[in-house]
Chains A and B, each alone.
Chain A
Amino acid sequence: MPFTSVDGDRSLEECISLQQQELEVLDSIYPECIYRGNMNGIVKLEIPVELPETATLIIDGPNDASPAHALSPETVSPQTASISTLPPVLLEILLPASYPFCSPEILSVHATHSWFPFTSALQRKLLEMWQTGEEILYTWLECIRTGEFLDMFELSSAASGERVIRIPHAAPHLLLPLLTAYDKSTQLKTFCQNSYECQICLSSIKGARCILLSCSHVFCRACLENFWKLCIAEGDIGRVGCPDPQCVKALSEANEEEVRRVVTDEEVRRWKWLREKRMVEKDPTVVHCPMSFCQHPVPKAPNVEEGSGWERLRTCPQCSYSFCSYCKRTWHGPHTDCPISVTETFVREYLALPEDSPERAVMERRYGAKNIRRLVERYEEERANERWLEHSTTECPTCNVHVEKSFGCNHMTCAKCREHFCYRCGERLQASNPYVHFSTPGKRCFSKLFDFENIDDEWQPMEGFDAI
């Protein structure tokens, strides 16, 4: 060996033992972070970042966005998420034989997924922290593990009591999912390793055998399974939720993913079926699919403007049949009326019910009060029209057009089809001699050419009639 001592009286042996000690201490505190192997003086530190509390992570896109980038906004707009961990930073360090009395060397700094952009600057700053004779590895490790190093680069700030971390990155939309996935998996790992006191069986259970519900209450899987199984079996699905008294009072229910994690597939199916049934019983807009083989309950589509024709549309989720909830026929668009006869029976049924009756209210809820009112109006108009047509007009025997006579004799010539007919009885007349109908004794319209009244009505002499 060319030298036996460094820095005066410090012997190489002393350095080796100091190094040995430092590494052993580190190894006992963070065994999962440190790796030495057989490499001569090389130490690898893989340091996961565990923030002291949950922080908001913002990843900023490149500031000098080129026009191509500007076209797709998701590539430049900042991406945010709530996290409490960040992927590890890997330091490869060479400890010279005379460390800690001469500077350690940082061979490389690398962040998993390259989430940390300033690796070479970090390398410099870490080296600046070292002072002669100081064992620096623990300080470095803590500085990175707690996220303190983010402050050195002014990436971390505290806004209204909450920590915000801003990281610049070329492709935020690619980096963010990686970081959130990492955060989620670490949290899950910690959850599984911890133990929780299940409030139902009153025992302490390992997290791996527990379930963290979305309301952040934790119960053991077995208790939750027993509870939900019973509720599903009894059809009491309102209780399939977090068993915590506060959540029970708030009537909060478990979501499908939670239920699926706890009970069997068959129970999940029954649970879903019961929920659907409950919804059907609750929702007055539900009508059953008119397909005889299907009969599935079909609710009104959400976000339909009240009073619009679209309110009538139903699409069966089971057999995809799209139909009109009024006439139960194939969907005929929001503007086309239902075939009148169906509407008529429907409106008749509605009008037959007493006003303010609960049955009317149910119909109004099911089909939309405005729609019904419009239908009733139209129906009544239609009825009035029919009565008027019947009373005051005569149908052309050929083209069926209704003709109202304002004045004149009862010999009509249809304006539409040129047919001759009697206004009084509606009989077809000979075009060559239409008056035979009125001049033949014995015929029902004999001498009634100028009779204004309908055949069914009593003949009334009218003033000035003779003058015509």
Chain B
Amino acid sequence: MDARLRRVNKEIADCKNDKTSHISIDLVDNSPFHLRGSFDGPEGTPYEGGRFEVDIVIPDSYPFQPVKMRFITRVYHPNVSSASGAICLDILKDAWSPVLTLKSTLISLQSLLCSPEPRDPQDAEVAKHYMTSKESFEDTARYWTQIYAGGPGKDGKSAVQKGGVKDEIAMAGLNKAHVDQFEALGFDRSKVIDVLRRMNYRGANIANINDDRVVEELLK
């Protein structure tokens, strides 16, 4: 049995025995080198109450090369790609150490959710949203947690309140009045949402964006 397999088995066993951290690691198929980890959204954050799943691939030279991790659960966070789940975290790259384990890395992901680092973003649009209005960003992140991670949502409302229909405006972290305003001009709703999201049409930033510019974008 090679050292990599021995270590991964130990790590999986260690996680199984640890009942306090609420971190689980499961096999995806029969290989111990493709795993699925999951952890709870940290308390006191918009991710609270959600359960986040992470795709884990153990490279050949593990633990000397960093483990590959990607969010399966969609997360609204400056350091996580909202489209692919790719993660921007130093320990998954150059700051990796062979001493780090699957569990400790998942705990690091958990704390990444607590402390976003918008200056080193994986998702520039989300990072802009975060910088413009933290409150609005948190609303969106909470909504995503509710939709994708089974979170309780605002005021503890259930995720499936509207019969499973997602609110596209809340998903994009936009204001309904703004979307309506441009939709009333005769533009397609999803196009309006797409453009306003890209332009970061939120909070104080709205003052910097001329209506004409929005229309110009919508006409493209």
Contact = CB atoms under 8 A, between A and B. Distances in A.
Interface in A214-262: 222-223, 226-227, 230-231, 243-245, 247-249
A199 B3 contact: no
B64 A231 contact: yes
A435 B91 CA distance: 93
A245 B100 CA distance: 7
**In the A-B complex, the 6 residue pairs with the closest CB atoms:** A245-B97, A248-B97, A199-B99, A243-B98, A200-B98, A227-B64
Nearest to B100: A245
Contacts of B10: 202
B19 interface: no
Interface of B: 3, 6-7, 10-11, 14, 61, 63-65, 91, 95-101
A246 to B, nearest CB: 9
B97 A226 contact: no
A152 interface: no
B6 A201 contact: yes
B7 A202 contact: yes
Contacts of A227: 64, 98
A201 B99 contact: no
Interface string A384-407: 000000000000000000000000
A247 B91 CA distance: 13
A107 B181 CA distance: 106
Contacts of B63: 200
A249 B89 CA distance: 13
A85 to B, nearest CB: 30
Contact of A244 (B14, B64, B99): B99
A464 B65 CA distance: 92
Nearest to A247: B97
A315 to B, nearest CB: 36
B11 A226 contact: no
A230 B61 contact: yes
10 contacts: A199-B99, A200-B98, A200-B99, A201-B3, A201-B7, A223-B3, A223-B98, A227-B64, A230-B61, A249-B95
Given A243-B98, A245-B99, A247-B97, 7 more contacts: A201-B6, A201-B7, A227-B64, A230-B64, A230-B65, A231-B64, A245-B97
Nearest to A217: B99
Nearest to A230: B64
A248 B63 CA distance: 14
A220 to B, nearest CB: 10
Contacts of A231: 64
Given A201-B6, A202-B7, A226-B3, A248 B96 contact: yes
Contacts of A249: 95
Nearest to A224: B98
A465 to B, nearest CB: 78
Contacts of B96: 248
A226 B64 contact: yes
Which of B61, B65, B91, B99 neighbours the largest number of chain A CB atoms within 10 Å of its CB?
A: B99
A49 B65 CA distance: 45
B15 to A, nearest CB: 12
Contacts of A248: 95-97
B29 to A, nearest CB: 24
Contacts of A247: 97
Contacts of A230: 61, 64-65
B64 to A, nearest CB: 5
Contact of A243 (B11, B65, B99): B99
Nearest to A238: B94
A66 to B, nearest CB: 57
Contact of B97 (A222, A223, A243): A243
A201 B101 CA distance: 11
B39 to A, nearest CB: 19
Contacts of B101: 202
Nearest to B6: A201
A145 B99 CA distance: 38
A200 B64 CA distance: 9
A307 B7 CA distance: 57
Contacts of B65: 230
Contacts of B95: 245, 248-249
Nearest to B61: A230
Contacts of B6: 201
B111 to A, nearest CB: 14
Contacts of A243: 97-99
